[in-house]
Chains A and B, each alone.
With several copies, the nearest count.
Chain A
Amino acid sequence: MLLQEGKGQLVGWHDPDENRKWVEANKPRDMTDKTMTAQEAVSKYVTDGSYLAMGGFGHVRVSMVMIYEMIRRRKKNLIMAGKTAVHDIDLLIGGGCVDRVEVAYAFAHELRGLSPGGRRAVESGRVKVVSEISNAGYQWRFLAAQMGLPFIPTRAMLGTDTLEKSSAKVIRDPFSGKPICLLPAAYPDVAVIHVPRCDKFGNCQIDGTMVEDFELARAARRLIISTEEIIPNDEIRSKPWLTKIPYFNVDAVVEQKYGSHPCQMPLEYFFDEEHIGEWLDLSKSDEGNQKYMDKYVYGTEDFADYIKLIGGEKKMKELVDVEHLRRPMTAPWLKNKGGE
């Protein structure tokens, strides 16, 4: 019945029984105050060599506060879930934190073009792509983990090198008699998700699309939440159907206003395209990369300090205005577009 086995590295899989034991022993069932600083969250839950997955999508609702802090704390040898990993992985590679990636989508910035830094790292062999997968495939790996299953089926990926370089297997479906792809569960060692609001226990509300964060939050062994705002538990309890992530999935809560800058926080503030443009420009060389890190990461004490450096409340107010369509967007990369 086993028709094919992908040759990619099986990242983040655990036998469901082993993971149940881990959950039983390690995940909190009682509501305790989990608020801490970004620094505390990194030192407590991000270990060198960890398999890391970031929430959000591309440059949208990404926990940049935690990305900068991981670089500042010089985390090493992380394996990254390249699930529409874009700005996050770019910086983590630039900061020397990541050396292996399972790729669904990485090393590019959507409309803005390819990523100079990420590409250079892979092409030089400094960073290894250990397996390939599709976007749907990656999020369904998290669904399998959320459900405590060894695998989840999909009809995508069949017949391609994406499957051949993945960790999926193909069997003959005993119901239809047709080949079907089985995606192994993925349990990140640590996931970081940025949300608009949560309480101090970690009960989160998220407006806008969930992307794959619903499943990821429940798949991750350790989950760090960074939040624009901490709200009272009463607000959670008054409309419990708005809770997208419950406290018992959460290990740390880090409050950080503007914590997604320069990425977009949907319904709150827009991409800082000038800052992203500066990074895309600097990351064309190792020297530029170092310059960016020295200035924005090592040169700042924490994220509040960084926000001051990028222009503070005044700058953020502008991005709030762009997000709410009160002001047009501007972007340096626009100059190179629009023709052929």
Chain B
Amino acid sequence: MADYTTNELLACTAARVLEDRKAVFVGTGLPMIAGLLAQRLHAPNMLIVFEAGGIGPQVPVLPISVGDSRTIYRAIAASSMHEVMSMSQAGYLDFGFLGGAQIDMYGNLNTTVLGPHGSPKVRLPGSGGANDVGSLSHKTILIMRQDKRKFVQKLDFITTPGYLQGGNSRYEAGLPSGSGPFRVISQLAVFDFEPVSKRMRIFSVHPGVDVKTVLENSSFEILVPDEIRITQPPTKDELDMLQKIDPVGMVIAKR
């Protein structure tokens, strides 16, 4: 067994997708941790933005909520949802994080309901800011636990747009040009999207995982590239920093 937990792997893998001198819209939990990790390692000049209005804070401890006062601690601005959502719609936000109960091969997400909308089997929280992040960020990073019930042929409800029906359908629906899911990160692999069909494709498999396992844990067909990369495992520096970022173990287990 590798010497790291799944949450640690997800956090480190997500952090590495983020780039310095870019802006990222984060939620609480793993996205927040990935953002902080990136900022403290390879992306010191990355701007972190929260949907309730916190912009560029120097968070002293991990926030519980995206509206929590920790998100404006020594921030450069404590603004409003109107301001940050407008920024996003206007193209200022490069990366956004998403997750969900179900995902399909085009990266569409369901966080609204399992079963029929009018008589739900399981009622989930709804879009929240997810549809906005998925619609308006330049690139979204989707963090998903992967299994056949979550990687589905057809969502019970399209809460948040990925590439919709694939091809050019996202743009044709009126969503911003060039935007959409960039990476999907599961406990098994990292995925990207084939440029023309916009179908999900393996980008790299995690250390110790084989392609077959990745494919078996999905109800839709995942594309396989000619060459299979292996995800870099978390480094000791990354793991140490994660402990500093989440010392009480809100998301990352205490070592």
User: What is the interface of chain A, defined by CB distance below 8 A to chain B?
Assistant: 16-17, 19-24, 27-31, 56-61, 82, 84, 103-108, 110-112, 114, 118-119, 122-123, 125, 129, 132-137, 139-140, 143, 145-149, 154-162, 165, 170, 178-181, 201, 203, 207-215, 218, 236-238, 240-241, 243, 246-248, 264, 266-267, 271, 273, 323, 325, 328-329, 331, 334, 337-340
Contacts and interface: CB of A to CB of B under 8 A. Distances in A.
A316 to B, nearest CB: 16
13 contacts: A20-B177, A60-B68, A105-B125, A111-B28, A157-B135, A160-B158, A162-B127, A211-B53, A267-B69, A337-B251, A339-B5, A339-B253, A340-B5
Nearest to B129: A135
A14 to B, nearest CB: 11
Nearest to B85: A136
B86 interface: yes
Nearest to A139: B81
Contact of A104 (B7, B68, B126): B126
Given A17-B177, A156-B131, 12 more contacts: A111-B250, A132-B127, A134-B131, A143-B82, A156-B135, A161-B155, A162-B158, A209-B67, A212-B80, A236-B76, A240-B72, A338-B249
Interface in B55-99: 55-58, 60-61, 64-69, 71-72, 74-82, 85-92, 94
B91 A135 contact: no
A158 B127 contact: no
Interface stretch (B18-26, B195-203, B208-216, B228-236): B18-26
Contacts of A157: 131, 135
Contacts of A145: 90
Contact of B161 (A158, A170, A236): A158
A181 B47 CA distance: 29
B85 A209 contact: no
Interface in B154-171: 155, 157-161, 164, 169-170
Nearest to A146: B86
A160 B126 contact: no
B11 to A, nearest CB: 12
Contacts of A122: 120, 123
A240 B78 contact: yes
Interface of B: 5-7, 20-23, 28-29, 45-47, 51-58, 60-61, 64-69, 71-72, 74-82, 85-92, 94, 108, 112, 117, 119-132, 135-136, 138, 155, 157-161, 164, 169-170, 172-178, 246, 248-254
Contacts of A24: 91, 94, 138
A152 B194 CA distance: 35
B32 to A, nearest CB: 9
B100 to A, nearest CB: 12
B136 A156 contact: yes
Contact of B127 (A134, A139, A215, A325): A134
Contacts of B85: 135-136, 139-140
B122 A123 contact: yes
Contacts of A31: 45, 56, 76
Contacts of B78: 207-209, 240-241, 243
- Dominant secondary structure at the B interface: loop
B180 to A, nearest CB: 11
Given A159-B173, A337-B249, A271 B64 contact: yes
A232 to B, nearest CB: 12
A139 B161 CA distance: 20
A116 B108 CA distance: 26
Interface centre among B45, B79, B81, B161 (most CB of A within 10 A): B81
A134 B132 contact: yes
B178 A21 contact: yes
Contacts, number: 315
A264 B68 contact: yes
* A-B pairs, 7 with minimum CB distance: A20-B91, A209-B53, A148-B90, A57-B67, A179-B174, A159-B173, A338-B249
A247 B123 CA distance: 39
B89 A147 contact: yes
B174 A208 contact: no
B177 A148 contact: no
Contact of A133 (B68, B69, B127): B127
B69 A266 contact: yes
A334 B254 CA distance: 11
B67 A23 contact: no
Nearest to A187: B90
A203 B158 contact: no
B74 A237 contact: yes
B249 A214 contact: no
B89 to A, nearest CB: 4
Contacts of B130: 134
Contacts of A103: 112, 125-127
Contacts of B55: 240, 246
A155 B66 CA distance: 23
Given A161-B159, A210-B79, A135 B74 contact: no
A170 B45 CA distance: 38
A339 B128 CA distance: 25
A132 to B, nearest CB: 6
A241 B72 contact: yes
A159 B67 contact: no
A338 B251 contact: yes
A82 B53 contact: no
A104 B18 CA distance: 27
